[in-house]
Amino acid sequence: MDPNGHFLSIANWSPQRLREALDLADRLKADPKACGRPLEGKTLAMIFTKSSTRTRVSFEVGTHQLGGQALFLSSRDIQIGRGEPIADTARVLSRYVHGIMIRTFAQADVEGLARYGSIPVINGLTDLLHPCQIMADLQTVRAEFGSGLSRLVVAWIGDGNNVANSWLNAAAKLGFRVRLACPRGYDPDPAVFAAAEAAGAVELFRAPAEAAAGAHVVTTDVWASMGQEEEAAERARAFEGYYVDAGIMARAADDAIFLHCLPAHRGEEVAAGVIDGPASRVWDEAENRLHAQKAILTMLMGSTS
């Protein structure tokens, strides 16, 4: 599996390739037609076994803007939902389409599509990772603080989930730091954390105010991710105090911004006054999903002719 031929994890791409994608995303934001129509005549299959607003719409619109066609494939409708193996799905889709974007539960399923198919695969969120989200987040952060990210400090408040794991991958690759505040028992994936720790890219705290101290970016996510609905009550108890409010923002740098991948729960992980306030960049962040993913689609599926 050529890691450059897919986008399964930020950890699989070199810093140079990540920067190339972010630079291209900036060019596409400035001029949505900067690349012409590199996906002319090409089709992206989009498999969803979980819900989505941003990922679905931004990939579909982005593919269209690049001259291609996107197919929305809900697991309610395709045979994956009835147990058809990932390997067979990969082999069959490779005969029809030119790329696959998948949002699902197991990271192994995304990797299986890449292993058994012969076309690029893009991870649109798994239980482990959300790499496309972090590309959009990095584009947002660069617009605010410049493209040299090495002095950046990102404070993550809450669940050590898929989005947190991808932040850690990005910090290890691009040389910035993530200060995490997670309740005990809700730390990031141990292997992802160990890699970030080895790169000197992460510090783990238990108190949100400690993690937020001096941070340029304060970010969080829901207490219960998709697939964890049955744990919601237990998580609500565990995450008491793990939210971003004006007090937490006051601990951060004077010019700190607030990010959230969305959807958000105001009054749970974030106060309305923060997400709807002057430090919030969440709408730019959501918009940047489109530009960052168009860059990734162009790099993976674009015609070279």
Q: Write out the residues near ligand CP by the rule CB under 6 A.
A: 52-55, 125, 133, 261-262
Phi, psi of 240 (to 5 degrees): -55, 130
To ligand NVA, the closest distance from the beta carbon of 166 in angstroms equals 10
User: Which helix (H) or strand (E) is 137 found in, with range?
Assistant: helix 131-145
To ligand NVA, the closest distance from the beta carbon of 219 in angstroms equals 12
Q: Which stretch binds ligand NVA (CB under 6 A): 5-13, 84-92, 161-169, 243-251?
A: 161-169
Contacts for 190-199: CB closer than 8 Å, 24+ residues apart? 192/11, 192/128, 192/165, 192/168, 193/160, 193/168, 195/11, 195/168, 195/169, 196/168, 196/169, 196/171, 196/172, 198/172, 199/171, 199/172, 199/175
CB closer to ligand NVA out of 39 and 286: 286
List binders of ligand NVA among 19-48 (CB under 6 A).
Answer: none
To ligand CP, the closest distance from the beta carbon of 200 in angstroms equals 28
To ligand CP, the closest distance from the beta carbon of 263 in angstroms equals 6
Q: Which stretch binds ligand NVA (CB under 6 A): 139-147, 150-158, 218-226, 279-287?
A: 218-226
| Beta strands per DSSP E along the chain | 43-48, 69-74, 99-103, 121-123, 153-157, 177-181, 202-205, 217-220, 257-260
**Which among ligand CP, ligand NVA, none contacts residue 53 (Cβ within 5 to 8 A by kind)?**
ligand CP
Measured at CB, which residue is nearest to ligand NVA? 225
Measured at CB, which residue is nearest to ligand CP? 55
List binders of ligand NVA among 232-271 (CB under 6 A).
Answer: 261
Q: Take residue 158 and report the two structure tokens written for it.
A: 């809450």
